[in-house]
Structure formats: structure tokens, C-alpha cells
Amino acid sequence: HAQKIIQLTIDLKAKDDLILQKDLIIRENQNQMDSVLSENGRLNSLIADLDAANQAIKDEHQALQMLCNSTEEKYKNLQFEYQELVQRCMHQKALEADLLNMQNEVLASRRQQKLQQELIDAANEPIFLPPV
């Protein structure tokens, strides 16, 4: 009977030690779980922040793409307008050159007529020769 009590006491002591070890393991696991849950919350918050930043970047990209498209359209319109202005300017310069050429021709013709008239007048002038 005493041997049985001693054995039961030893068994009880072993079980108490085992319970203490298991309690320690449970506390360590609980601390790790709390740490993991805290890290999980931090990472979820970071993911939410990154998702918001990503959406902001997508929105900004879309706005910039729209601005780029609008700018390209304006550029094409300006190129077309520029070509029209160049053509109009070239046409105007051609008209001015034609007018200048016509004025030069009229002026040259008048000079020629004046020169011819002077030659005719000079030819019609009586020549007085001194008596010999």
C-alpha cells in the first residue's frame, strides 16, 4: 500500500511537471499566435494602403492618358492648321511675286518706250552742220 502511494505520488509529480511543461508551451504558442495576429493585422493594413496607392496610381495614369490623347489631338489639329497657313502664305507670296514681276515688266516697257521715243526724237532733230 505504501509502495502504491509512493508510485502514485511519483506519477502525480510527473503529471504535474508535464502539465507545467504543457502550460509553458501553451503560453509560448499563445504569445506566438498573438504576435502572428498582430503581424497579420499590420500586413493587412499595409495591403490596404498599397491597394489604395495602386488605385490612385491607376487613376492618375488614366487621367494622364486622357491628357496625352487630348494633347495629341490638339497637336494634329495644329499641324493641319500650320500646313494650311503655310499654303496660304506661299500662295500670297506667289501673288506678290507675280504682281512685282508685272510691275517690273510695265516699268521696263515704259523705259523701253521712253528710250525709243528719245531715239525717235533724236533721229528727227535737225542736224545743223556748219558751213564749210
pLDDT digits (tens, 9 = 90+) for 81-128: 999 999 999 999 999 999 999 999 999 999 999 999 999 998 888 877
Assigned C-alpha cell, 74: 490638339
Strand, helix or coil at 21? helix
**What was the pLDDT predicted at 127?**
79
Tens-place pLDDT, residues 68-82: 999 999 999 999 999
> In whole angstroms, what is the distance from residue 50 CA to residue 102 CA?
76
**What was the pLDDT predicted at 132?**
72
Tens-place pLDDT, residues 29-58: 999 999 999 999 999 999 999 999 999 999
> In whole angstroms, what is the distance from residue 97 CA to residue 91 CA?
10
Q: What is the pTM of this model?
A: 0.55
**What was the pLDDT predicted at 102?**
98
Instruction: Return the half-sphere exposure (C-beta side, CA atoms, 13 A cut-off) of residue 72.
Output: 6
Contacts with 93 (C-beta within 8 Å, 6 or more apart), sequence order: none
**What was the pLDDT predicted at 126?**
82
**What was the pLDDT predicted at 26?**
98
**What was the pLDDT predicted at 125?**
86
Indicate the pLDDT class of residue 23, thresholds 50, 70 and 90.
very high
Helix %, strand %, coil % of the chain (to 5): 95, 0, 5
